[in-house]
Amino acid sequence: MGVHYLLAEKEKKMVSSYTLDLFKDPFFIGFNRELNRLNHVHNTATRQSYPPYDLLKLDEDTYKLSLAVAGFSKDDISVSVDNGTLIIKGEITEVLDAEVVHKGIAGRKFTRTFALGEYMEVTGAEMKDGMLHVDIDRIIPEEKKPKEIAIKVAKK
C-alpha cells in the first residue's frame, strides 16, 4: 500500500467521522435514528458485490436502478421497501433432472440494500433480458411543496 492510499483512507474516515459528529450536536433533534439507519445500510451495502448494478439519474427527481440478474426468473426475486430502505433479494431454487458436470453460471442467493432519501419512492420494477430495472421517483406530498401565502389588507 502506498502512502497516498493510506492518507486517502485516513481522510475518508475523518470526513465520515466529522459528518456523523456534526449531527450529534443538540441542534439536530431526532436525527440519531436516521443516522444509525443510514450507517447500517451503508455498512451492509459495502459488503455486497453481487449482483452488479447501475444507477442512472434520469432527471432531478427520477432514477433507474438496474441489476444484472441473468438466470433468475421473476419468481426468484423480491423487491420491497422497509423503513426507507430498498431491499432486493434473489434465490434460485433449482430442480435438476440431470447430473451437473460443470456449473459456471452464477445463480447464488443475494440481498442488495439501498437507502432511499426523503420522499423517494419505488414506483415500478421490470425484468427484461436478464436485467431487473427498478424505477425510483421523488414524490413530494402537496403539503410539503412551496406555496404562496395571500396577504390580507387589515380593516381599519
Q: Which residues pair with 136 in a beta bridge?
A: 63, 122
Residue 133 pLDDT > 60? yes
Query: Are 63 and 130 within one domain?
Result: yes
Over residues 3-7, mean pLDDT: 47
Task: Write out pLDDT tens, residues 49-62.
Answer: 789 999 999 999 99
Q: Is 88 exposed, middle or buried (0-12, 13-18, 19+ CB in 10 A)?
A: buried
Task: Kindly state whether residue 16 falls inside one of the protein's structural domains.
Answer: yes
Grade residue 30 by pLDDT with cuts at 50, 70 and 90: low
> What pLDDT was estimated at residue 7?
45
Query: Are 54 and 125 within one domain?
Result: yes
Task: Kindly state whether residue 150 falls inside one of the protein's structural domains.
Answer: no
Query: Are 85 and 135 within one domain?
Result: yes
* SS3 of the chain: helix, strand, coil, percent, to 5: 25, 30, 40
Q: Are 63 and 53 in contact (CB under 8 A)?
A: no
Query: Are 8 and 19 within one domain?
Result: yes
> What pLDDT was estimated at residue 31?
67
Grade residue 126 by pLDDT with cuts at 50, 70 and 90: very high
Residue 129 pLDDT > 90? yes
Q: What CATH number does the domain containing 100 carry?
A: 2.60.40.790
Query: Are 122 and 104 within one domain?
Result: yes
Query: Are 1 and 56 within one domain?
Result: no
Residue 24 pLDDT > 90? no
Over residues 122-143, mean pLDDT: 95
Query: Are 103 and 29 within one domain?
Result: no
**For 54, how many CA atoms within 13 A lie in the half-sphere containing its CB?**
9
The number of distinct structural domains making up the chain is: 2
Q: Which three cell numbers stand for residue 127?
A: 425484468
Q: Name residues whose C-beta falls within 8 Å of residue 1's C-beta, 6 or more positions apart in sequence.
A: none
> What pLDDT was estimated at residue 97?
78
Query: Are 9 and 54 within one domain?
Result: no
Grade residue 29 by pLDDT with cuts at 50, 70 and 90: low
Residue 109 pLDDT > 50? yes
Bigger pLDDT: 82 vs 47: 82
Residue 144 pLDDT > 90? no
Query: Are 38 and 69 within one domain?
Result: no
Query: Are 90 and 66 within one domain?
Result: yes
Domain that holds residue 112: 50-142
Query: Are 3 and 57 within one domain?
Result: no
Query: Are 95 and 138 within one domain?
Result: yes
H or E segment at 28?
Answer: none
Residue 38 pLDDT > 60? yes
